[in-house]
């Protein structure tokens, strides 16, 4: 089954404790992206990747890092999480940018 998977689905952590949210897709898509969803703001792009080893900032990259060492994986790294990064995070992938397939989401709470 073609899908985008994210782990963990739920995470509660404390300020400053490094964490990684994994994202994997099995559709051989070149393009992957991370978004955060906050009430009243819709989805905002954090980072995106056009292909292996090619990444670029989205609209809200501050406090986040990404890497694209393999085509199928695109982890999101929070080196020192802060409470303003409490949000719902979505990973997405596509083969041409137009039709993006979204993962199920990761709800992160930073205390």
Per CB under 8 A, residues contacting other proteins are 4, 31, 33, 35, 40-45, 48, 50, 56, 58-59, 90, 92, 97-100, 102-105
Beta bridge partners of 54: 51
Instruction: Sort 18 into a burial class: Cβ within 10 Å, 0-12 / 13-18 / 19+.
Output: exposed
Whole-number minimum distance, CB 68 to other proteins, in Å? 13
CB-wise, 40 or 69, nearer to other proteins? 40
Identify which of 77, 66, 90 has the alpha carbon closest to the alpha carbon of residue 13. Answer: 77
Find the shortest distance in angstroms from Cβ 81 to other proteins.
22
List the structure tokens of 65.
């890092």
Compare residues 83 and 104 and give the one whose CB is closer to other proteins.
104
Least distance between other proteins and beta carbon 45 (Å):
6
Q: Which is nearer to other proteins, 54 or 111 (CB)?
A: 54
Total length of the chain? 111
- Using alpha carbons, select from 59, 71, 3, 15 the residue that is nearest to residue 34: 59
């Amino acid at each position: 089954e073609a899908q985008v998977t994210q782990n963990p689905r739920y995470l509660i952590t404390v300020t400053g404790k490094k964490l990684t949210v994994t994202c994997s897709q099995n559709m051989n898509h070149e393009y992957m992206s991370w978004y955060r969803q906050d009430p009243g703001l819709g989805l905002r792009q954090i980072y995106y990747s056009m292909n292996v080893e090619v990444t670029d900032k989205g609209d809200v990259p501050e406090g986040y890092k990404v890497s694209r060492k393999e085509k199928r994986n695109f982890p999101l790294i929070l080196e020192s999480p802060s409470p303003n990064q409490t949000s719902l995070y979505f990973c997405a992938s596509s083969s041409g940018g137009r039709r993006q397939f979204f993962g199920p989401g990761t709800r992160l709470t930073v205390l």
